[in-house]
Amino acid sequence: MIKISGYIGIFLLFATSLQAQTFFSKELKGKVSSADGDVAATHVLNISTQKAAITDIEGYFTISAQLNDTLVFSAIQYQRKEIVVTTAILASKSIFVSLDPAVNQLNEVVVMPYNLSGDLSRDMNNTEVAPVITASTLGLPNAFVKKMSQADRKLYASKAGGPLIATINAITGETKRLRLIAEREAKYQRTELIRHSYHDSLYIKQLKIPLDKIDDFLYSCEIDTTFASIDAKDKLKIWDYLLEKSVLYRKNNELEMP
């Protein structure tokens, strides 16, 4: 009888552990971005569970993760980045990652052709440089037209294919889906713009946010409606918000206070 009770206890313990593990495991939706925008087929690996995903042409991906799992983002053209899953990421069920390009540095470059000495200040005076030709210098009427993103172009195409195509896309929900993607892309681009408006040293020294947590911190700001209502060009208001938000972020993520 005691032996049977022992088996039952072990079974209940195993079931409880499995249930807890399942409870804390969540499906994360995210997006990878970069300065050049070429983020398709970026590998996303959860090295804690050995699960993997690959980003689509727009950088979106979905992967299962638990608290404290480590996600690794890698591609040939970018530097490898690791992010540890926090409670904030699990709560939002989403993650935003910015990748830096891989840089191959040369120890020494010797410039010989075209009578160049390698001294930039001297060679610039001796080299004839043709004027840069752009749409604005030529005075073209479309010189200052805002460039549409890929998501915006797809949304525009869904409405510009004629009344029949527009009606079909509206009925099937394709127009709504593309609109949501365009809105989400615009939000990511806004966050990316703000991210690079301040040097990393300001995030680290003033906001006390570790370097590997900056992207996660900004994403926690992005999902806040207050942050979205501030003009991205108003650097003073943005910075005041970041100062206030950083205190709450450090507290929620149990980061060492200053």
Label each residue of 126-167 as H, E or C: HCCCCCCCCCCCCCCCCCCCCCCCHHHHHHHHHHCCCHHHHH
Q: How far apart are CA 243 and CA 226, in angstroms?
A: 14
Is residue 211 pLDDT above 80, yes or no?
yes
Is residue 107 assigned to a domain?
A: no
pLDDT score for 145? 52
161 with 246, same domain: the answer is: yes
157 with 232, same domain: the answer is: yes
161 with 226, same domain: the answer is: yes
Number of domains in the chain: 2
CA distances from 103 to 76, 80, 81 (A): 11, 12, 14
Is residue 57 assigned to a domain?
A: yes
Beta bridge partners of 64: 27
Is residue 106 assigned to a domain?
A: no
CA distances from 207 to 67, 157, 203 (A): 24, 43, 5
Judged on CB neighbours under 10 Å (0-12, 13-18, 19+), 215 is buried
Phi, psi of 145, deg, nearest 5:
-70, 130
Is residue 246 assigned to a domain?
A: yes
Is residue 22 pLDDT above 60, yes or no?
no
pLDDT score for 63? 92
86 with 176, same domain: the answer is: no
What integer is the mean pLDDT of 215-224?
84
78 with 157, same domain: the answer is: no
Is residue 141 assigned to a domain?
A: no
Pick the range with the lowest mean pLDDT from 81-95, 113-127, 172-186, 206-220. 113-127
Of 98, 128, 160, which one is at a domain's C-terminal end? 98
Is residue 4 assigned to a domain?
A: no
248 with 181, same domain: the answer is: yes
What integer is the mean pLDDT of 223-247?
86
CA distances from 81 to 129, 130, 138, 215, 249 (A): 40, 41, 42, 11, 21
For the segment 150-197, what is each residue's pLDDT rounded down to a tens digit?
A: 666 676 677 766 777 778 877 888 878 878 877 777 777 788 888 888
Of 65, 80, 98, which one is at a domain's C-terminal end? 98
84 with 161, same domain: the answer is: no
158 with 248, same domain: the answer is: yes
Is residue 71 pLDDT above 90, yes or no?
yes
Contact 32, 59 (CB under 8 A): yes
* Pairwise pLDDT comparison (184 vs 127), residue with the higher score: 184
What is the model's pTM? 0.38
Q: How far apart are CA 77 and CA 43, in angstroms?
A: 12
Is residue 5 assigned to a domain?
A: no
* Pairwise pLDDT comparison (119 vs 37), residue with the higher score: 37
Residue 93's domain is classified under what CATH number?
Answer: 2.60.40.1120
pLDDT score for 62? 92
pLDDT score for 61? 92
Is residue 12 assigned to a domain?
A: no
Q: How far apart are CA 67 and CA 48, in angstroms?
A: 10
For the segment 39-65, what is each residue's pLDDT rounded down to a tens digit?
A: 888 889 999 888 888 898 888 999 999
89 with 168, same domain: the answer is: no
Give residue 223's domain range: 150-252
